[in-house]
Amino acid sequence: MKLVIFTDGASSGNPGPMGLGIVIYKGAKMIGEHSLFAGKGTNNMAEYLAVIKALEAAKKLKASEVHVKSDSQLLVRQLSGEYRVKNAKLKPLKAKVDRLCKKMKVFFEHVSREKNKEADKLSKDAIKRHRKRMKKK
């Protein structure tokens, strides 16, 4: 099965609360979306965590090929091997992505923010929900 997955990670403050947005398509049909709070960290950490969650979801769906689209040019270039990962906190996240990629054929593509609106909204919504929960406490 081939999937196209749009991912986005957001951090409110950098570092700050992180949200992940993932939208999964099989052909033209959306088959899943995820909006997850991911603790405290940086924008780049959130971007990596979104890809990890996306690949884990693809694995559960038994995908054989995954096309990951992200508006983070740095992330896409690092995951494609064009750039080295220098940040010590990102290295283990990159290693986890690499492990998940071994089971599937995975392509990474940089897309404009305009084409990643759904995942962007989901990532920001996760942070908003977290803030609301924290205010209630």
Q: Domain segments of the chain: what residues? A: 2-132
How confident is the model over 67-113, as pLDDT tens digits?
999 999 999 999 999 999 999 999 999 999 999 999 899 999 999 99
Assign domain 2-132 to its CATH superfamily.
Ribonuclease H-like superfamily/Ribonuclease H (3.30.420.10)
- 24-29 contact pairs (CB < 8 A, 24+): 24/54, 24/57, 24/58, 24/61, 26/1, 26/2
Give residue-wise pLDDT tens across range 33-79.
999 999 999 999 999 999 999 999 999 999 999 999 999 999 999 99
pLDDT at position 134, please? Answer: 86
pTM of the model: 0.96
